């Protein structure tokens, strides 16, 4: 797994380009983001929140918000996608992912601000998650979503994910993509460097 320095999170920030041309920064969530992140979730439509949390929720419960803003605990990480709007940083998307060392898989969930959907931000964020998964030496990246979540299913399909039933819940569908990228070939510069810092980083699948 990647050796990460949580005292210097800025080194893990990535600057991406959305399809519509906007510059999007993807960075780890920090404690200072708590209020902005909660406001982001409150501003999502009821349907988007339902899709993200697989059930009704008007905001993040305090315990879950605390987990979001303290990254790295139990190999769980949260990121936000931000834009500069009128000189201010605005959260337009988020993702949370967890690495399971036993299965070498990374499970994730994400959402995009309803007002910014259709700009290619979701696709850019998903590509960034694939870089992060490769840097961990993960074999696969996967998530579960409601069968009615057409937007997430379409995004996953266009991004090359396969589909299968979600274990234990017929209302969900699982989308999964194998990660088979050499550390030197990871397309995100910061995560290529992080991967190369791993012991025996010649291959993410080295035995």
Q: Is 15 exposed, middle or buried (0-12, 13-18, 19+ CB in 10 A)?
A: exposed
CB 174 within 8 A of CB 143: yes
For residue range 123-151, list pLDDT tens digits in order. Answer: 999 999 999 999 989 999 999 999 999 99
Q: Tell me which range, 25-29, 100-104, 189-193, is most confidently predicted by mean pLDDT.
A: 25-29
CB 141 within 8 A of CB 130: yes
Residue 3 pLDDT exceeds 80: no
What pLDDT does residue 6 have?
58
For residue range 153-184, list pLDDT tens digits in order. Answer: 999 999 999 999 999 899 999 999 999 988 88
What pLDDT does residue 18 have?
82
Task: Provide the phi-psi class of 205: left if phi over 0, else alpha when psi is between -120 and 50, else beta.
Answer: alpha
CB 159 within 8 A of CB 126: yes
């Amino acid at each position: 797994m990647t050796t990460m320095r949580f005292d210097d999170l800025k080194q893990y920030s990535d600057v991406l380009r959305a399809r519509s041309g906007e510059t999007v920064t993807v960075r780890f969530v920090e404690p200072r983001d708590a209020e902005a992140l909660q406001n982001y979730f409150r501003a999502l439509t009821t349907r988007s929140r339902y899709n993200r949390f697989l059930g009704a929720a008007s905001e993040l419960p305090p315990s879950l918000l605390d987990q979001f803003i303290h990254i790295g605990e139990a190999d769980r990480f949260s990121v936000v996608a931000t834009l500069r709007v009128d000189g201010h940083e605005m959260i337009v998307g988020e993702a949370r992912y967890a690495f399971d060392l036993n299965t070498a898989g990374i499970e994730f969930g994400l959402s995009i601000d309803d007002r910014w959907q259709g700009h290619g931000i979701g696709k850019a964020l998903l590509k960034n998650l694939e870089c992060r998964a490769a840097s961990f030496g993960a074999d696969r990246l996967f998530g579960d979503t409601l069968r009615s979540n057409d937007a997430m299913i379409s995004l996953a399909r266009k991004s090359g994910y396969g589909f299968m039933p979600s274990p234990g819940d017929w209302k969900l569908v699982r989308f999964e993509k194998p990660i088979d990228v050499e550390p030197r070939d990871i397309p995100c510069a910061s995560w290529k460097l992080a991967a190369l810092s791993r012991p025996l980083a010649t291959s993410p699948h080295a035995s």
